[in-house]
Structure 1
Amino acid sequence: MHFDFAKLDRQQRYKLLGATVVPRPIAWVSTLNADGTLNAAPFSFFNVFGEAPAVVGFSILHRSASDLKDTGQNIRMQQEFVVNLVSDENLEQMNISAIEFPPEIDEFTEAGLIPAPSEHIKTPRIAQSRVAFECRLMQIIPLGDMRSLVLGEVLAMHVDDEAVLDAERAWIDTDKLHLVGRMHASAYVRTSDIVDLPRIPVEDWTLIDGPGYKP
């Protein structure tokens, strides 16, 4: 089936992309508003984009062109945010924080989240999260009139001690993080089903008797 995006509306495009680009990691973003009220919201259009500088990015779908979501407004004002990752044990709390509460409501309180102090920014991270990235805003890029791409430089990273194999070598036991990913609609996936597939060195590939690259 061929889908011509020029002939599709916004919702149809979203449904096609959301149902096929899976699984997606979840950015559980914590921010502060002007009066210090905490905000937490999940975003599954999210990934990492570099290491020098370390860059993470997520996109926000606004309520309308004139009604930007609390997370985006807070980041514009504070110039900082924390990306917390979602594990199996806090999936339900993440879902509560996705409720469209008004700006004055503290999602930390509603979802039973515990704020933990950050080291380099004033925005707290979520204590229940096994991984958290303290970020300074790099850029907000408009994506049409209803989305914004938020790029942040990672200043520091917090990882649950149980998942750290060797801090000096930056070795992490990813399996112990119990992370979840977003699938389609309201479906999520656990990352416990792992396939180990080492990369093939080109010198090994040239020894294979078959079609393809030969130096």
Structure 2
Amino acid sequence: MFYETKDHHGLKHNPFKALVSPRPIGWVSSMDTEGRLNLAPFSFFNAMSDNPPTVVLGFSGVHSEGGPKDTLANIEQTGEFVCNVVTYEIRDAMNATSEMAARAVNEFDLGGVTALPSTLVKPPRVGESPVNMECRYLQTIDLPSNDPERPNKMVIGQVLGIHINDDILTDGMVDMTKFHPLARLGYKDYTAVKEVFSLSRPDQEKQDRNHR
């Protein structure tokens, strides 16, 4: 099949998010100017560069009470946030915080997770997550939207510091078989990394052979 994205795809559900998968989940903790906490998962999340490390978050729509969603408002107003990586073991806690809750609700409580102090930014990190990336807000980019009532935006942040639980390290490397990062597949489907294989670039293989 083929369809133009300006038209209806003719399927039961939009396939786009299922096709661009798996996608890592950024569990973003933020704080408003009055110190109230927010915690929300984002499957439109990824790393964009590594020197310095930067991450991006995709936002769509508005809060049920009107105005921008809490995470977007908090990041733009305070300039800080934390990306906590979701693993298979904490999938239910993450899902609990995906609810479109009232602004006054603290999603750390919804998920039953621990708010631990960060080192470089004010928003706390999720204690149950084995990886926490403390970030500084860089900019917001307005994206096209087919619905004027549901604006699309991309937030870029610079990672200032990273917490890694020693339990997921083996020989000085992140061990994916211990890490089990969760990823979104589209619809209601998820997956977790349980198996790993390696591939070397052709130029790397040539270099390795030359040094033998």
Query: Shorter chain as normaliser: what TM range?
Result: 0.7 to 0.9
1:36 corresponds to: 35
1:156 corresponds to: 161
Pairs within 5 Å for 1:44-193: 44-63=43-62, 67-145=67-145, 146-165=151-170, 171-193=173-195
For residues 150 and 105 of structure 1, the distance between their equivalents in structure 2, rounded to whole angstroms, comes to 23
Gaps of at least 5 residues in structure 2 are 146-150, 207-212
For residues 29 and 188 of structure 2, the distance between their equivalents in structure 1, rounded to whole angstroms, comes to 21
Aligned-pair distance for 1:202? 7.5
Aligned-pair distance for 1:123? 0.8
Q: Deviations over 1:44-73 (max 9, x none)?
A: 011100112210111011227x62111001
Displacement over 3 Å in runs of 4+: none
Gaps of at least 5 residues in structure 1 are 205-215
Give aligned-pair identity as a percent.
Answer: 34
Aligned-pair distance for 1:203? 7.3
Aligned-pair distance for 1:3? 1.2
Aligned-pair distance for 1:83? 0.4
Q: Deviations over 1:25-45 (max 9, x none)?
A: 000000012321111000101
TM-score (norm 1): 0.85
Q: Deviations over 1:154-180 (max 9, x none)?
A: 00001111123355xxx3223211111
Question: Aligned pair count?
Answer: 199
Say what the alpha-carbon RMSD is for the aligned residues.
2.3
Q: Which of 86-95 and 185-194 deviates more?
A: 185-194
For residues 113 and 130 of structure 2, the distance between their equivalents in structure 1, rounded to whole angstroms, comes to 13
For residues 194 and 174 of structure 1, the distance between their equivalents in structure 2, rounded to whole angstroms, comes to 7
